[in-house]
Structure 1
Amino acid sequence: MPTVDAIVAAANKGPPLSSFSRGTKVKGGGKMSLLKGYSYELEENPGEGFAEGFKPALTPAEILFMGAFEGKYLNDCTDEFPREWFLYAAAAGKLSPVADVSVNHFKVGSRQPLSVWKEKGWSPARGRHVAADTGRAILADSKQNPDERGWFQWYCRYWLGRRIPALDKVQIGRWRSFARHAGSVKAHCSPGAITCSVRERQALLQWAYNPFI
């Protein structure tokens, strides 16, 4: 089992944020990749050229730094993403070699197992191909959706500058739909009462919404 020190050591060997720009070719990382040798070319500079109306409140780096996904979502992807993402999160005590709810910002779990995502068609499964262009079909199809870890992995790659128009439209639509959770927090919690609805606040953080509303 890797340690946090091992994750940090691997991150130190990874690319700095300054090495990413439009035209950069990025090799997909992680042991879970469904597409052997997957890579992509950035069509935008990091953090730029977002679709109209897509205005996330948090960057991937900020989400990881604040504490999300039990501290282990991308720990085997240090060769794909900017090393600063991992180094800053590690310095804040927000990385873990095993799932650890205590490193989440609100100290609660707020996600379902990947097996559930695949079962519901929210992420692709090995060998699955669905000849349709509906949102759920695109998400479930490994030929149309290379992001087997779900929305946050998509967001990390989108933020860097990758663009897959059909997939991007679906994932941005899911992000917009998630706003209902912000509405629920506002309806049930007084302004600034951050100990109210902590599970929903953790979910908002992981979907790049402001969790402190």
Structure 2
Amino acid sequence: MGKPQGAVSRIRKRKATDTDKKSAKKPKQADGKTKTKPKPKAKPKPVKQSPETKAKPKTTKKPKAEKQAPTKEAKSSKKVSGKDGPSIHELEYREREGYTAPLPTRNSKGELVFEDCPRIRPNMSPKEVLQAGSFGGTYFRPIKSGVTGEKYTGVWKELPKDWVEGLEISKQISSCTYHLDVNTYGVKCGGSLEMWESSGWIDKQDPYGWFQWYCRFYLGRRTDDDERQIGRWDRCTGVKGRWRNNLIAKCARSGCAYDNTAVSPVVRQTLQHWGYRLTEADFNKAAKRFK
């Protein structure tokens, strides 16, 4: 059976009412289209800058100071004792004794350069002389000085500790007996302390002699006796020095190499005691005068 007409009209009215309500919710524009709410504009996301693109604050550059051109001596010089300069023991010694003269540098020829005393140019430091084997191990033995009238013992203890490191003190530094096997060239050389004293070559400030003076001079002491001691070194070991040229002449005339230790080991040991070892450059420069 079909629905009664009254019921059908009621259903039609309800649908019409629902449609009107929906239409009321969406207002129409003049052209008949339904208005829609505009979507809010998306805010732009901040762009992350990489460390490379970040702006760096501007800094004002300081003008560079003009550098003075180093001298030839400075270019070829380097500090002596350790890789980075003097040892802590040498610095402690200087502070203890109050020595202030600059420590030497070493030039490209291997010579020790004393800034305030350019006349003396040994190529072995006091430490190198001792470590190489010198004086038959007797240099700092106990003595009674004929110059001061005083007795001295244990004087080696004033040396920087690293100078005698690894050495047998009783045999290689302060022995009362001369040991040939201590010396680099296995020979004896030099006169006695009494001979040096009687010749007037010992000053009371250094009762052991030239090498004691050299140790103190090397570490920065300066005294009125320096000029005399430097002169002694120069006459023995300098460019025109007696023993240096004696060795060069013997090598040149015999046709032997400069470092042939069979040629005059006594002279070589003597030169070592004065802080010098013959080099190829020194030999080549002077050898032509003796051939």
Instruction: Please classify the TM superposition score into its range, dividing by the shorter chain length.
Output: 0.5 to 0.7
5+ residue gaps, structure 1: 1-14, 27-40, 125-141
Q: CA RMSD in A?
A: 2.3
With the length of structure 2 as denominator, give the TM-score of the two structures. Answer: 0.51
The one of 224, 228, 231 aligned to 1:170: 228
With the length of structure 1 as denominator, give the TM-score of the two structures. Answer: 0.68
- Show the 5 A alignment for 1:73-112: 73-74=139-140, 76-90=154-168, 94-95=172-173, 97=175, 98-112=177-191
- Show the 5 A alignment for 1:14-25: 16-21=89-94, 24-25=95-96
Matched pairs, number: 161
C-alpha distance after superposition, 1:149-180 (max 9, x if no partner):
1110100000011000x310011011010022
Q: Name the counterpart of 1:44.
A: 101
Shift of the 20–50 alpha-carbon distance from structure 1 to 2, 3 Å rule, reads farther
Q: Name the counterpart of 1:210.
A: 277
Distance 1:60 1:196 in 2: 24
- SS of match in other structure, 1:70: helix
Contact residue 100 and residue 221 of structure 2 kept, 8 A:
yes
Higher relative contact order (CA 8 A, sep 6+): 1
Q: Offset at 1:104?
A: 0.6
Identity within the alignment, %: 29
Distance 2:190 2:125 in 1: 19
Q: Offset at 1:185?
A: 0.7
Which entry has the higher C-alpha Rg, 1 or 2? Answer: 2
Q: Name the counterpart of 1:133.
A: none
Q: Which amino acid aligns with 2:159?
A: F
Distance 1:173 1:88 in 2: 33
Contact residue 58 and residue 208 of structure 1 kept, 8 A:
yes
- Show the 5 A alignment for 1:1-213: 16-21=89-94, 24-26=95-97, 41-47=98-104, 49-74=115-140, 76-90=154-168, 94-95=172-173, 97=175, 98-124=177-203, 142=204, 146-164=205-223, 166-178=224-236, 179-189=241-251, 190-191=256-257, 192-211=259-278
Contact residue 188 and residue 266 of structure 2 kept, 8 A:
yes
